[in-house]
Structure 1
């Protein structure tokens, strides 16, 4: 199967690992281990939205890669956690703005799309999760 999705997932994970905004966070390709650190990001699900012939020798594909950002902060509030999630997401978004192709020649465009935010109390901490999509258009 010809696709850019696997290379994009790897490049997105590597970019996220290098961001100062995610320093100290566990960043993984796929779900983290059963007991993830309290602050983690995983680059996960891929959904192909479209694939069409662009010329008689190349196809154009459109797909999304899910990114989930999670954090727990002791003694915090919902607002504190959500601000931290926003700071982390801005780091990823700015990383994509600086390098929209993620260093992959066949990637034409990328778009960062926040999808769902939730925060909740957990023992003496507050925990939050932000689900995002990286929408990609690429040539094969």
Structure 2
């Protein structure tokens, strides 16, 4: 006979079968995908507002979040960046030097300005997200 753990697991499986519980849980499409897109957009907007209000640590907090949760999600991050800058019009008045000129140039000519700029400039995902936040901050200042 097996160990106590194996016997308990077998007993639980039999109970679950009688109750109609599936043996394998239904696969989730978002397993391992990190934050939902609406949460990511909200975080980018909040970081931009915090930076515009003078909270320089907002960038550090965003960097930590990107490194911890979103390291392999370039497509999703760039899509969120594109979506939060959709209403920003080029040229942004008095954009700080920290906003890349290529990103400002891409604002008017592309439906996906951050993605276009990041791919053309070879910018990392983190650099693109931080440039987006700086751009948002420049529009709120």
Normalised by the length of structure 1, the TM-score is: 0.29
More helix by share: 2
| Larger Rg over CA atoms | 2
More strand by share: 1
